Amino acid sequence: MSQNNSTSTITNYISKSAKIGQNVKIWHFAYVGDDTEIGDNVMIGSLSHVDYKVKIGENTRIEGSVYIPPLTTIGKNVFIGPGATFTNDPYPMSPKMSGVIVEEGAIIGSRAVIRPGVKVGEGSVVAMGAVVTKDVPPRMVVMGHPARVKYSRAEYDKKKAEWLASS
């Protein structure tokens, strides 16, 4: 029986000027840019790109293949699903940028796209595949293209509880 003893190198780029909190997990092939601040207990998935001057609050989970551009602020206890894309240039290639703000406890679904300058309110949910072009009110669920309010976070939590209780 032969044994393969080859080794591979997992490469991340983490800027020397980035401030990384305690118990942060950054998975394979991720990028963290200059002057980015990452709070405690954050997870950043494989192939994610967190650009320069980004702020990420504690206990936030960012899944794989997420793009977070410069000047973005993400609050505490946020979940960002795989392949979500935030943008910061409303008129490419403009020298003026506008970051996205995601407030505490928000959920961003897989493959959602968020326009520059948008605020995703506290405890709100952006459905998978949504294209968010306007601010999301706190504790509301938005979906669609363009994203529109569909129901409240309370209704979302009720639907989730019912789904979890079903067999």
Is 2.160.10.10 the CATH number for 13-165? yes
What gap in Å lies between CA 117 and CA 98, rounded to an integer?
5
* pLDDT for res 167: 76
Q: Which residues of 60-78 are buried (b: 16+ CB within 10 A; e: fewer)?
A: bbbbbbbbbbbbbbbbbbb
List phi, psi (to 5°) of 144: 105, -175
What gap in Å lies between CA 142 and CA 55, rounded to an integer?
24
Digitized pLDDT (tens) for each residue of the chain, 167 residues in all = 334 344 455 688 899 999 999 999 999 999 999 999 999 999 999 999 999 999 999 999 999 999 999 999 999 999 999 999 999 998 888 889 999 999 999 999 999 999 999 999 999 999 999 999 999 999 999 999 999 999 999 999 999 999 999 97
What gap in Å lies between CA 14 and CA 30, rounded to an integer?
8
Q: What pTM, to 2 d.p., does this model score?
A: 0.91
Tokens of 94: 């403009």
* pLDDT for res 7: 47
* pLDDT for res 29: 94
Q: How many CA atoms lie within 13 A of 100 on its CB side?
A: 28
* pLDDT for res 160: 94
Domain residue ranges in the chain: 13-165
